[in-house]
Amino acid sequence: MVTIDYVVFISFLVGLFIVGSILYKWVGEPDDYFVAGRNLPPFILAATLVATNVNLYSFIGQTGAAYQEGISIVWQAWTGNMAIVFSGLFILPIFRRLRVRTVPEYLELRYNRLVRSLVGLLWVFRLAFWLGVTMYTGAIAAETLTGIHSFTLWLFVFGIIAITFTTLGGMWSVALTDALQFVLMLGGALILLPLAMKSVGWTPGLIDKLPQGHFEFVKQHGNYNWQFMLAILVLGIQWASTDQGMIQRTFSANSVRTIVKGMVWAGIITTPFILIILLPGLVAAVNTPGLENIDVAYPMMMAKTLAPFLLGLMVCGLFSSHLSTVDSNLNAVATVFTADIYQAVFNRQASKKNVLWVARLTTILAGVLMILVAYIVPLLGGAVQAYLTIISIMDMPLFVVAVIYGLLWRRSNWQGALAGYLAGALAGIVARFGFGVDVNVTTFISAGAALVVCPIVSLLTPLTDENQLLTIWKAKKADQEEHTLGQAYHIFPHSFWAKTGTLVLGLGLVSFVTGALIGSTGHSFLASIFAIGGMLVFFAGGLIKVYAR
């Protein structure tokens, strides 16, 4: 980076502080801080969801994985996009109708306060761990781009900026700047892509020069093989349904139909975007093989390829994606702790002023914790492996008790939910760290333990109160407000076109799974046709369903 690049970058940072100070005046109620007053329209919601799904973890961690393993890492994002569409169509409308701010808050409605508080406490640390991963990627990128090799310096620079920005404006800071950050990310990636591809002779030259198997979308062997595709799809649905940093954005929407449209379009828009990001990682595998730290592949391509000023703009795009992830998850930690621990356990009569004060203090403390966590990420094998490890252990048990049993089985109770969640997380820890099982298998072990333990304990303990269940089951149908506004959305399709969209969606999912299974036989090209084609059909079904009346 030269002087002009630093001028562009510093100007960008100053602009963020100005925006944060303006938005500080918008925050007068707890809902303004946590869920932007529930007033986000479809476009801003879609942009902020895309900015969440495509972040510095994508630019650094996933591109580094592509550098080492090949293009098949793309399925971590692509199945995530399918999951966003699925969750938006079938799961999040229920949460929005319940008007909750966090998943633990929903768990109290469905089970009891003990489940809410315990899961809330565990998820404060789980979100802090993810924040540590993102801070690690930011510091690695900054070291490579600036030549200032001080991991600690960049951790504190980025940490202070993100903490200050989020503390001032809450979810309004997160949401409104995400739209701008999305434009910067897309613009920066589009600048680098043609320059990188030209250096290797465009697509034919890239395929010819890559190591064998690097351009196979569906692999028989390797870390990101056909088993990974199936495991990460399951994890993706869990993530899109229960991850606080993700769904808090949807809770900020102004209606249920806005959530559905925003989720479907976010999944579709992100799909080509992630391919644009990963291709420079493959180019780096050709131009600079043998990197000691694979996570520097993308920033190294930037530093070597982009001219002054363009590099500064690209750095702004990268940092904006980093801030997008950090500020949303800092806000999520503040929401979970304030709503599910402080208000639920310690001070149920807290004033609005006290709630905002605790939320801002929690944001600061969570920021300090994320900086500390960043130091242990290299010990877990880098950004991708660290993230996959934590979600394979912590996330699937929550999905089982909150969504699978919580929404589909009336007999599940708080005893079963608590036992199932703890059993699943413990089984995942033992499998991953005790026996060294990979994250694909760990995912199914943690989910399987929760699936078995929850119903057994539930059947051996008393029934849940029927009135408590009625609140949840009523939320599966459009409420009176939706009908009055003419914005009713039906999870279970009523019209011909809604039913057609649901059928197309199902056919796409079947095709995707078929492609993954074909990949187990070694027929990569055929498997790719079924998997990618199925994904596109799945998206088409989602669009038909969301716009059907």
pLDDT, tens digit (0-9, with 9 covering 90-100), for 73-108: 999 999 999 999 999 999 999 988 988 878 888 999
How far apart (Å, rounded) are the C-alpha atoms in residues 367 and 382? 20
**Cβ pair 181, 323 in contact under 8 A:** yes
Domain stops at, among 492, 510, 526: 492
**SS3 of residue 239 by DSSP:** helix
Q: For residue 510, how many other CB atoms are within 10 A of its CB?
A: 14
Amino acid letter, residue 69:
E
How far apart (Å, rounded) are the C-alpha atoms in residues 102 and 34? 10
**Cβ pair 370, 159 in contact under 8 A:** yes
The reply to whether the predicted model has a pTM over 0.75 is yes
Amino acid letter, residue 88:
G
How far apart (Å, rounded) are the C-alpha atoms in residues 62 and 156? 24
Domain stops at, among 492, 514, 536: 492
Res 161: pLDDT: 80
User: Above 80 in pLDDT, residue 181?
Assistant: no
Res 31: pLDDT: 46
Total tally of structural domains belonging to the chain: 2
Domain stops at, among 455, 474, 492: 492
User: 253 pairs with which residues across the strands?
Assistant: 40
Residues 532 and 427 in one domain: no
pLDDT, tens digit (0-9, with 9 covering 90-100), for 456-482: 999 999 999 888 899 999 999 988 777
Asked if the structure places residue 34 within a domain, the reply is no
Residues 438 and 538 in one domain: no
CB-based burial label for 460 (10 Å; 0-12, 13-18, 19+): exposed
Confidence of residue 115 (pLDDT cuts 50, 70, 90): very high
Asked if the structure places residue 393 within a domain, the reply is yes
CB-based burial label for 508 (10 Å; 0-12, 13-18, 19+): buried
**Between the CA of residue 458 and those of 91, 112, 317, 411, what are the distances in Å?**
23, 14, 49, 7
For the chain, the maximum distance between any two Cα atoms, rounded to a whole number of angstroms, is 69
Token digits of residue 263:
């989720």
Residues 193 and 337 in one domain: yes
**Cβ pair 440, 228 in contact under 8 A:** yes
User: Above 90 in pLDDT, residue 254?
Assistant: no
Question: What are the φ/ψ torsions at residue 253 (nearest 5 degrees)?
Answer: -70, 155
Confidence of residue 148 (pLDDT cuts 50, 70, 90): confident
Token digits of residue 366:
């969570």
Please calculate the CA angle 370-358-397 and round it to the nearest 5 degrees.
Answer: 55
Confidence of residue 247 (pLDDT cuts 50, 70, 90): confident
Residues 387 and 525 in one domain: no
How far apart (Å, rounded) are the C-alpha atoms in residues 97 and 250? 12
Residues 479 and 500 in one domain: no
Residues 103 and 215 in one domain: yes
User: Above 60 in pLDDT, residue 152?
Assistant: yes
Token digits of residue 330:
């800092």
Residues 271 and 306 in one domain: yes
Question: Which residue in the block uniquely carries the two structure tokens 């304990």?
Answer: 457
Question: What are the φ/ψ torsions at residue 40 (nearest 5 degrees)?
Answer: -75, 130
How far apart (Å, rounded) are the C-alpha atoms in residues 313 and 290? 28
Of residues 303 and 45, more confidence is placed in 303
Residues 255 and 283 in one domain: yes
Residues 470 and 500 in one domain: no
How far apart (Å, rounded) are the C-alpha atoms in residues 79 and 338? 32
Residue span of the structural domain in which 425 resides:
3-29+39-492
Question: Which residue in the block uniquely carries the two structure tokens 């954005």?
Answer: 249
Amino acid letter, residue 47:
A
**Cβ pair 84, 266 in contact under 8 A:** yes
**To 10 degrees, what angle do helices 496-519 and 524-547 make?**
160
What is the rounded average pLDDT for all residues in the chain? 85
Question: Which residue in the block uniquely carries the two structure tokens 């504190």?
Answer: 156
Residues 84 and 94 in one domain: yes
CATH number at residue 219: 1.20.1730.10
Residues 67 and 128 in one domain: yes
User: 40 pairs with which residues across the strands?
Assistant: 253
Question: Which residue in the block uniquely carries the two structure tokens 């994904």?
Answer: 535
**Cβ pair 50, 211 in contact under 8 A:** no
How far apart (Å, rounded) are the C-alpha atoms in residues 437 and 445? 10
Confidence of residue 19 (pLDDT cuts 50, 70, 90): low
Sequence-ordered list of residues with C-beta below 8 angstroms from that of 160, at least 6 positions apart, any chain: none
pLDDT, tens digit (0-9, with 9 covering 90-100), for 331-367: 778 888 888 888 887 887 777 778 878 888 888 888 8
Asked if the structure places residue 415 within a domain, the reply is yes
